[in-house]
Structure 1
Amino acid sequence: MARGRPRSFDREAGLDKAMRLFWRHGYEATSMRDLTTALGISAPSLYRAYGDKRTLFAEAVAAYDRVYGGFIDRALAEEPSARDVALRLFAEAPTRYTQRDLPSGCLVVSGDAGTHDPEVSRLLSGMRNGKVDRFAARIRADVKQGELSDDVDARALARFTMATLTGMAEAARDGTGRAELRRVAAVAARAWP
């Protein structure tokens, strides 16, 4: 009996599986065995396709940010004011962090929990701080244009907004439902100047 051609490995589908595994368990708690089992390939094949675990994690985080976490960058690009950005983020976050058929929460928020790998920690803290920096710049621009009061601390307001999103993501991971997250978002929206 002749052997058929071996099935080709779908790299993008494998990346999506790895991303969901890291999203659900975090970098540290996801083992190479977990990854090879989920992707249906051997460890040498995984190394050939993606490099080591840290390299695969970085690629998975980039894919996550593009597909699921990009709502922050889209709001910054599309909304006319920093206040509108914040209100949009608060409105969208409860749904984003509690989607059916996806892990709860946010990979960028919790993916480095418990890790001792400084590169993984730097990657995610850099992404989180970068979002605060971009939002603070947007707030400063609104202060300069008179959209917001001169006494607004742009950095603190940006950090408050992102910390609220982080808290909502962690609450979703802990099982908090969408309805309660929407109430949290409404409180945060009222706190905005």
Structure 2
Amino acid sequence: MGRRREFDVDKALDAALCVFWRKGYEGASYADLTAAAGVERPALYSAFGNKEALFRKALDRYFETYMDFIPEALAQPTAYGVVRGMLFGALELHTRFPDQSGCLGINGALAVSDEAEPVRRALIAERAQGEAKLRARLEQARAEGDLPASSDPAALAAFVLAVSHGMAVQAKAGFNRDQLAAVAELALSAMPNGTPDQTGLKGKNVSD
């Protein structure tokens, strides 16, 4: 029989997640990860595999734990409500934890070495999936008459994600919640005119 692990795997994964969130993939050293998890490197990799595998598991945990605002936003009854939920949900997450500002998916691999290219591609794929879901929801809004027939759901989805990702970078650079909220409101002012907003969210923060 194999030796029983003497540490909490879930706690170790959460600790590694926080390190990756704060330092990015390549910025997180083996020493950082083992110190945060409270275990030696062999035990950590016995549980999770190598550093790339550990990062991928941490990324899955991140989406499961912190990105619940996305399905909630996509379920809003109007396109305006969807976009507002996406932007304000993102900025709340970007600024919620002072030691872990920004987004793990953006911080993780803005620039990496050739050896870490698979991680960068994995993050690009994750973001592409999110953009596809938003585009599909906006296409639905256009079909329902909630967005003008002349609107471009693909361009609008790309715009929303560009603003969201930019806010993540700004949060990492020290922008506070109020500054990012102003950016989100400005982006919302560019929304195509469809049917009147029915969400009751216009002019309010999602946390109100």
- RMSD over equivalenced CA pairs, Å: 1.6
Please list the CA deviations of residues 82-110 of structure 1 after superposition, one character each: whole Å capped at 9, or x if unmatched.
Answer: 32110122233332111135500000122
CA displacement 1:104-141 (0-9 Å, x = unmatched): 00001221122232210111101111111111111111
1:108 aligned onto 2:105: yes
Q: Is 1:94 aligned to 2:91, yes or no? A: yes
Distance 1:151 1:29 in 2: 45
Residue number in structure 2 paired with 1:29? 27
For 1:53-68, list aligned pairs within 5 A. Answer: 53-68=51-66
Report the residue type matching 1:40 in the other structure.
G
Query: Does residue 1:145 correspond to 2:138, yes or no?
Result: no
Deviation of the 1:24 alpha carbon = 0.5
Residue 163 of structure 2 corresponds to: 164
Contact 2:87 2:184 in 1 (8 A): yes
TM-score of the pair, normalised by structure 1: 0.91
CA contact 1:109–1:128 (8 Å) conserved in 2: no
Give the superposition deviation at 1:159.
Answer: 0.5
Cα separation, partners in 2 of 1:190 and 1:155, compared to 1, 3 Å: same
- Residue identity in the other structure for 2:141: D
Confirm or deny: 8 A CA contact 1:11 1:49 kept in the other structure. Answer: yes
Q: Which ranges of 4 or more aligned residues in structure 1 deviate by more than 3 Å?
A: none
1:69 touches 1:106 (CA, 8 Å); kept in 2? no
**Higher helix fraction (1 or 2):** 1
Q: Give 1:3's aligned residue.
A: none
User: What 5-or-longer segments of structure 2 have no aligned partner?
Assistant: 193-208
Alignment size in residue pairs = 187
Q: Which whole-Å CA distance do the structure 1 matches of 2:5 and 2:119 have between them?
A: 33
- Identity level (%): 37
Deviations 1:5-59 (A, max 9, x none): x993011111111001000010011111211121121111011111110010000
Cα distance in 2 for residues equivalent to 1:47 and 1:94: 33
Is the alpha carbon distance of 1:7 and 1:130 closer, same or farther for their aligned partners in structure 2, counting shifts above 3 Å?
A: closer
Q: CA deviation at 1:163?
A: 0.7
Give the match for residue 129 of structure 1. Answer: 128
